Amino acid sequence: MIGSVRAVGGSRRPRRVAVLSVHTSPLEQPGTGDAGGMNVYIVQTAVRMARRGVAVEVFTRATSSDLPPSAELAPGVTVRHVVAGPFERLSKNDLPSQLCAFTAGVLRAEAFSSPGHYDVVHSHYWLSGQVGWLARDRWGVPLVHTAHTLAKVKNSALARGDTPEPRARVIGEEQVVAEADRLVANTEVEATQLVDLYGAAPDRVATIPPGVDLERFTPGDRLVARAALGLRRDAVVLAFVGRIQPLKAPDVLVRAAAEMLARDPALRDRLVVLVVGGPSGTGLEQPQALRRLAGELGVSDLVRFLPPRSGAELAQVYRAADVVAVPSHNESFGLVALEAQACGTPVVAAAVGGLPVAVADGVSGVLVPSHDPVEWAGVLADVTRPGRRDALAASAAGHAARFSWDRTAEALLETYAEAARVFRRETSSRVRAIDAATRPEEVAV
C-alpha cells in the first residue's frame, strides 16, 4: 500500500518522497531539449519505489498553461506542475531567476498537507538542489541530492567551441554539496570528484549506479529491426542516440564515418549512420550544424536523422545497429550505453566519466581514449567486422544485466533511511546543545 513504512537496517523507509526536477519534467520525451538520462532516472526510480509502497511526488516547472496542476505518471507517482516564470521559451540558464517562485510553489503545496507530509527530499541537478536546501530546512527532513553532471568537470573537458558553464552554477553546486545530507554519485569516479573538487564529506557520499530497464531493452532479431527502419539486411549501421549538442559529440561519429569511407570507398553502398535525437543545450544555437557537417564531409546520403523515440521503437534502433557510439566529452554514467548493450549491441564509447563502468572494455564494447575521428574510425571498422562484432555482442546483454533499476531504487531507499536516521540524531544533538546554552543557571540557596 502506498504510504506504508518498512524497516531497513534499523531505520525506517520513507512513507512519502518529494522529488525535485526544476528544469525538466519526467513526462517529457528524452532525447531533445533538456530531457535526457536524468528524466529516465527519475521515472524509473520513482516507479520502482512506488511499487515498494513509497508514495513519490515529483515537482517540476510548468512549461505550458495547458498542463494540469498534477498528473499521475504511474500508480503511486504524482507529477506536480509548479508555475514559475513564463511557460515557454525559458532556457535552463534563465531558471535561476525563477527559483524563488518555484520554491514558493513547492512550499505552498506542502503547506496544504498535514505536518510531516514528506519524509525526505531528493533533488536532481543543482537548480533543484537550491530549492531542496530551503525545503529541507522548512520541513525538517533530510536532503538527498544527485548532481547528474558537475560544472567543474564539464568545464575541464569542453568540446571545441562549446560554452563553459557559468560561475553562478559552480557556486550553486558548491552550496548544495555543503548543505545536502547525502550526495548520490553514479560511480566512484563521480564520488571522488565531489570530494576533491567540491569538498564533499566522504561519509555523506553514496555511490549508487543507475540501471537499465531489462524488461524493455532485450536482445532481438536484428533483421526484423532493420526491416522496421527500412535498412538493408547487409548494411553497416552505426548509431548515435541522444541530445544533439557539442557535449555529446555526435560530430565525432559523423567525421569517423567519413574517414571510414576514405579508407574503404566500397563501404558507401552499405554504410548508414543513424542519429536519433534533437538539438539541446548549446546545440540549439546551431540546430543544423550536424547536417551541414555531413554535407561538408560528403556523407549526407549516409546520415539519417530520426526524431527522439522511446520504448519499443528505441529498442528497435539499438537492435538494428552493428554498434552504438557514445562519443561524449563528459558523461556521468551513460544510460544509452547500457540500453544498447541490454539489446545485445556492442558500444564504442569515449573513456570519460562513468562510461568505463557502463561499458566493459574489450568485453561488451570498446573504450576510446580520445575524440580523434581517425582513431574512432579505426575502432569502429574493427568492431563492425562480423567476427569481432559477434564476440562483443555475445557479452553485451550479460554485462548490462548487472545493472537494474530495481537495485538502484533499493539502494536509494536505504540511503533515504540512513540519511533520515543521521538527520534525526544531528537535529536532536543541536536541540540539546541549544537547550543547554539557554537554560538558566541554578542558583544555590
371 in a labelled binding site: no
169 in a labelled binding site: yes
DSSP states of 65-83: TTS-SEEEEETTEEEEEE-
Q: Are 241 and 336 in contact (CB under 8 A)?
A: yes
Sign of CA dihedral 19, 25, 26, 32: negative
252's enclosing H/E stretch is helix 250-263
157 in a labelled binding site: no
152 in a labelled binding site: no
Phi, psi of 155 (to 5 degrees): -70, -20
DSSP states of 364-432: TEEEESS--HHHHHHHHHHHTSHHHHHHHHHHHHHHHTT--HHHHHHHHHHHHHHHHHHHHHHHHHHHH
35 in a labelled binding site: yes
Q: How far apart are CA 47 and CA 55, in angstroms?
A: 9
39 in a labelled binding site: yes
37 in a labelled binding site: yes
339 in a labelled binding site: yes
Please, what is the angle between helix 373-383 and helix 386-400, to 10°?
90
92 in a labelled binding site: yes
175 in a labelled binding site: no
345 in a labelled binding site: yes
Q: How far apart are CA 241 and CA 336, in angstroms?
A: 7
12 in a labelled binding site: no
| Angle at CA of residue 236, ends 365 and 254, nearest 5° | 80
321 in a labelled binding site: yes
103 in a labelled binding site: no
Beta-carbon count within 10 A of 327 CB: 27
In the structure grid, which three cell numbers stand for residue 83, read together?
A: 508555475
* Surface-to-core class of residue 205, CB atoms within 10 Å of its CB (0-12 exposed, 13-18 middle, 19+ buried): buried
206's enclosing H/E stretch is strand 205-207
Distance from chain centroid for Cα 153: 15
125 in a labelled binding site: yes
Binding-site positions for UDP-N-acetyl-alpha-D-glucosamine read 29-30, 37, 243, 248, 309, 331, 339
Binding-site positions for Mg(2+) read 318-319, 321, 345
Binding-site positions read 23, 29-30, 34-39, 92, 125, 149, 169, 243, 248, 309, 318-319, 321, 331, 339, 345
Binding-site positions for 1D-myo-inositol 3-phosphate read 23, 34-39, 92, 125, 149, 169
